[in-house]
Amino acid sequence: MSDLIINNLTKSYRVNNDPYPVLKGISCTTDCSAITVILGKSGCGKTTLLRLISGLEEPDAGTIKYPANINIGMMFQEARLMPWLTCEKNITFGLPPNYDKEKIRALLTTVGLTNFAHAYPGELSGGMQQRTALARTLARDSNLILMDEPFAALDYFTRQIMQKEVLKIKAASHTGIIFVTHNIDEALLLADRILILKDGNITSDITIACQGQRDILTARFIDLKRQILAALQIK
């Protein structure tokens, strides 16, 4: 797949009747087969940017040019499952009746939920619910997935498992991902490229070329973390 081209994207909200600028002319080109992480502090406009890319919201000005045959999927911080449907039925909800049952079985295996296919969301842990949400997104053959802090509510260990899951899926399917987080370690672990969003603009653009497993406790990644902390001006 080719690039997603964002040009001079501007978005303001109205707060107390005054315009409140959130995105102030963002331009960037992202490779839709890579993992691009948008990293920034809470309130900097990450969700706004994702909502604009997904088409859930309109920009005030600027354009987004999508690659041909783009099929965008979304994953949020909460799993947003339907509590009255089983794990499997949540995954297949809305698919055409002749959906590929073998593919759904394979997806359940990928996310480690084969034994819980018939369990209800209330019987699943937070991590399992998020894995269901991930399978639901993947079942739709999306070739670009927008993830808005999808693991922020999970404990450290579950988060690690889910991050590895994302890397495995990426390696197996070449699905592009735009991943929003405020967590620097998560960004370092997942990203092919990190875009830092600050004061309404992309202020840093860091490409991480790395084959195979990453160890973010090595000198190279600790240096990168220092660089990012400086870019975000966190002492």
CB within 8 A of 106, min separation 6: which ones? Answer: none
x/- map, 38-77, Mg ion, by CB under 5 A: ---------x------------------------------
Q: Based on CB atoms, which residue is closest to ligand ADP, 12 or 227?
A: 12
Cα dist. 134→29, 92, 108, 141, 169 in Å?
A: 25, 12, 10, 12, 10
Residue 181 lies near Mg ion (rule: CB under 5 A): no
CB of 83 closer than 8 Å to CB of 30: no
Radius of gyration of the chain (CA): 18
Do the Cβ atoms of 118 and 88 come closer than 8 Å?
A: yes
Sign of the dihedral defined by the CA atoms of residues 94, 30, 197, 179, in that order: positive
- Report the residue number, 89 or 198, with the smaller CB distance to ligand ADP: 198
- Tokens 């045959």 locate to 69
- CB 148, min distance to ligand ADP, A: 7
**Shortest distance, position 84 Cβ to ligand ADP, whole Å:** 29
Site for ligand ADP contains 19 (CB under 6 A): no
Q: Does 115 bind ligand ADP (CB under 6 A)?
A: no
Nearer to Mg ion, 47 or 86 (CB): 47
Nearer to ligand ADP, 15 or 209 (CB): 15
Residues contributing to the site for ligand ADP (CB under 6 A): 13, 15, 22, 40, 42-48
Residues contributing to the site for Mg ion (CB under 5 A): 47
